[in-house]
A and B are shown apart, each in its own frame.
Chain A
Amino acid sequence: MTAALQISDLTISLGGNAILSGVNATIDEGEFIGVFGPNGAGKTTLVRCIIGTLPPTRGSIEVLGLPPGKSARQIGYMPQGHAGFDSTALSARALVEAACYGDQWGIPWTSKKSKQEVDRVLEVTDASHYAERPFSVLSGGERQRVILAQALLGDPRILVLDEPLASLDPKNQALLIECVARVKRLTQTTVLFVAHDMNPLMHVMDRVLYLAGGHGALGKVDDVVTSASLSKLYGFEIEVVRLENRVFVVSAEGNVTESECFHHDHD
Chain B
Amino acid sequence: MIDTLSTYLGYDFVRNALMAGSLAALLGAVVGYFVIIRNVAFAAHALSHIGFAGAAAAALLGLYPLQGMLLFTIGAGAFMGISGDKLNRSDMAIGMVLSLSLGLGALFLSFYRGYAGEAQAILFGDILGVSFGQVVEMAVLSVLCFAGLAFFARRLLFASVQPDLAEARGLSLAGLAVAFMVILAIAVSLASQVVGVLLTFALVIAPAGIALRLCRTFWSGMIVSILLGLVVVWAGILLACLTDRPPTFWITALFFVLYLAVEGYVRFFTRADR
Contact = CB atoms under 8 A, between A and B. Distances in A.
Given A75-B169, A134-B274, A151-B165, 20 more contacts: A52-B168, A53-B168, A69-B170, A72-B169, A88-B36, A88-B37, A88-B213, A89-B216, A90-B216, A91-B216, A97-B218, A99-B166, A102-B154, A102-B159, A103-B155, A105-B154, A106-B150, A107-B150, A107-B154, A132-B216
A107 B168 contact: no
30 contacts: A52-B170, A53-B168, A69-B170, A72-B168, A72-B169, A76-B165, A78-B165, A79-B164, A83-B162, A83-B163, A85-B37, A87-B36, A87-B209, A87-B212, A88-B37, A89-B216, A90-B218, A93-B217, A98-B157, A98-B158, A98-B161, A98-B162, A99-B161, A102-B155, A102-B162, A102-B169, A104-B154, A108-B154, A132-B216, A134-B274
Interface in A87-138: 87-91, 93-95, 97-99, 101-108, 110, 132-134, 137
Interface string B200-211: 000000000100
A131 to B, nearest CB: 10
Given A88-B213, A97-B218, A106 B168 contact: no
A37 B36 CA distance: 37
A73 interface: yes
Contacts of A4: none
A117 to B, nearest CB: 14
A94 B266 CA distance: 19
B269 interface: no
B240 interface: no
A73 B160 CA distance: 18
B213 A89 contact: yes
Interface in A67-84: 69, 72-73, 75-79, 82-83
Contacts of A101: 154
Contacts of B218: 90, 94, 97-98, 108, 110
A93 B274 CA distance: 15
Contact of A103 (B150, B170, B214): B170
Nearest to A79: B164
A51 interface: yes
Given A75-B168, A77-B164, A79-B165, A102 B158 contact: yes
A77 B167 CA distance: 10
Chain B, interface residues (CB within 8 Å), range: 35 or more
Interface in B176-202: none
B111 interface: no
Interface of A: 51-53, 69, 72-73, 75-79, 82-83, 85, 87-91, 93-95, 97-99, 101-108, 110, 132-134, 137, 147, 150-151, 160
B-side binding surface: helix, strand, loop or mixed? helix
A85 B171 CA distance: 21
B120 interface: no
Contacts of B168: 51-53, 72, 75, 77, 160
A107 B157 CA distance: 9
Interface in B129-177: 150-155, 157-171
A79 B165 CA distance: 7
B109 to A, nearest CB: 36
Nearest to B218: A94
Contacts of A51: 167-168
A79 B163 CA distance: 9
Contacts of A95: 161-162
Contacts of B37: 85, 88, 90
B167 A53 contact: yes
A5 to B, nearest CB: 14
